[in-house]
Structure 1
Amino acid sequence: MTDPLMKDRIAGIYADGWSRIVATMIRFTGGDWDLAEECAQDAFAQALQRWPESGVPDQPLAWLTTTARNRAIDRMRRASTETAKLRKAAALDLEPPPYPSDGEIPDERLELMFTCCHPSLGLDAQVALTLRSLAGMSTAEIARAFLVPERTMGQRLFRAKQKVAHAGIPFRVPPAHLLPDRLPAVLHVLYLLFNEGYGDVGKARLCREAIRLARVVTELMPDEPEAQGMLALMLLHDARRAARTNASGDVVTLAEQDRSLWDRERIAEGAAICERALRRRRAGPFQLQAAIAACHATAEAAGRTDWPQIVGLYTHLVRIAPSPIVDLNRAVAVGMADGPGAALALVEEIAGSGRLDGYHLLHATRADLLRRLGRTGEAADAYRAALGLAPTDAERRFLRDRLRGH
């Protein structure tokens, strides 16, 4: 049985290295996405078998990439019915030497991201394919992020990979004049990547990777305020990371967080980036969300949270980027500005539409409003509904506590 500490270490290497290995393998296999992912998975499976006995290599990414590449060579040699692959396999008679160090493995993650976000794919397919290949998220995790069944997401991913292969989409960052066409998908991808890490303490590396890539995008596209807005939003949220859970790993609500744990430098950086973006007077969804986060982050200095301003920002956001989740967040702000009764009417309308039936935060929000209104029996039912849908242990513990104390 593998030592839990060894499993944790390999999991950390997986989180940091999956996207680099997959990107390298996609280029190596000539764009065979499925083969690239299968060989990367096989390399990690071999690591789980061998490293507990032999120890983690000095250059784990080089070991994994070489193992994945050798597996790919073997697979291509066996593909006897495919002439093109046979020719490629023949050219690989002499296996290349292993990489001398992790640092010399090319970092092709940005190429991978822009390949996934090609405009010939639908936006949902672009985002889903990038989350699978760049973040190593499972089909089930991506389906949950999109609020769709796992089978639906599996079909969507299959079609996206087939289209990339058949259309001959190049594996590279496109020239500058084509970048704006891909920006919306790239931003969605990065923010979903960030959220996947933000919602689970064990996946914090995904947040760091999303922020790193967001900085690269803002450097590539310095005149795009939405890219700046997304980076600002990530920084403002990430600044509160240390206060989001307690020593036991339980969720701490924003109102109850120890603000001395907030990262003031990160807040200042995020707020400044948001302000610069908004001065361009092309406010988009990420800029507005960053402005809302800045209101929360700077509330301590003002002595209070300006809930009417937050409601106004959400109202603007609903107009330019309508979604049921934005409606729900606006309802929460209304509840703080105008009381739980006003908010509950909005939440009941969202619930009645059926748009967020499988979203645990809809039921948790409804439960909180009912609790504040003294309707304890209904609140308990809503907490139970939220508990049955909550995706992480920390959230389930939080909801159980609320249910016991409602």
Structure 2
Amino acid sequence: MSEVEKRYLAAKERYAKIGVDTDEALKKLQEVKISMHCWQGDDVKGFLNPDGELTGGIMATGNYPGAAHTPEQLRSDLEKAFAMIPGKHKVNLHAIYVDTDEKVDLNTIEPKHFSKWVDWAKEQGLGLDFNPTFFSHPMFKDNYTLASPDKEVRDFWIEHGKRSRKIAEYFGKELGQTCINNFWMPDGMKDNPIDRLSPRKRLMEALDEIFEEKLDENYTQEAVESKLFGLGAEAYTVGSHEFYMGYGLTRDKLICLDAGHFHPTEFISNKLSSLALFSKGVMLHVSRPVRWDSDHVVLMDDELTEIGRELVRNDLLPITNIGLDFFDATINRIAAWVVGTRNTQKALLKAFLEPTDDLKKIELENDFTTRMVLTEELKDFPFGDIWNQFCELNGVPVGLDWLKEVREYEKNVLLNR
């Protein structure tokens, strides 16, 4: 018996005294898929125009060595990251991550331009999610895409949106896992506008045209993502939270909540239960804001813990699609993936290790003393021993051991690019 298993059995006994079955908690965590975003690996440049500059509210800072420059390099890096992460998950692609020798643009992309990604996903036992790319392109004009007053600009992006839906449908058919296709665009103004309504009306009508064709939701479902503000859209963002909440509810779309897209004092954990009552489901982007939408690597902070609790305590995992969205070019990019994904899993495990039914009963009886005492005591329970067992069962490194492997990969692969 390994030292990890010995410690797990001792921890299991302690949790059992408060009515928590740790084996059942690990079984539940095993079933949760995280959609790991590809753009952490190359600083959101993609392969449609790898030398292009990021525009439209997106900026990756830092020059840490080893960024992926080809699809093959990116897939290799993703494989290395997944080797450190327990379970089988999904990869979240943006449209700019085409893998083809053909000269294509965002309004001419087709499923065949992503066939190598599908072949790779099949080999790895992974699912694929998708995102149209409404930024870093010459047709992103005057800070507008679908909300542009220029019909030529709108038509270009409408065609891109339609083609992206077909690619997402292709992913779902080929891989047997529903592909979540998430729509976000950075349309807005840097300073105060006179007319806030017209751009939103144009955005609404453009989206309606994109979504006009009915697709089989067994293959793909669409989400719409809001934002408070971004670079160049500090004063006015067309696709605000209110806009997309209304759009998603009236058009039967998933509503994407990004933890980094709200005011720094506003938390999305408190929004989940409300949306669950009215929406068909949620696309959750796990990120970390620092003063503004900066998409920092996910840490085990209070908000991440609270997000995990809300999803588990209210049984929201069946209607929630969990993905990651951060990019940091100041640190090892694979380490960023591993830390963010494992922390997201840890937050869920902490919630699975609560005696939820008992806590709800105590609360219903207005026994707030016991509620406080029990939830505080849980903070000192040997959660780490349960997590380490989960890693060992999945054949991935325990504790800091994974960092040694990442450093070795950095030395042998990343620094030679």
TM range (shorter): under 0.3
- TM (normalized to structure 2)? 0.25
Structure showing the higher strand proportion among its residues: 2
Structure showing the higher helix proportion among its residues: 1
Rg (Cα) greater in structure:
1
Flag the structure with more relative contact order, 1 or 2, with Cα contacts below 8 A and sequence separation at least 6.
2
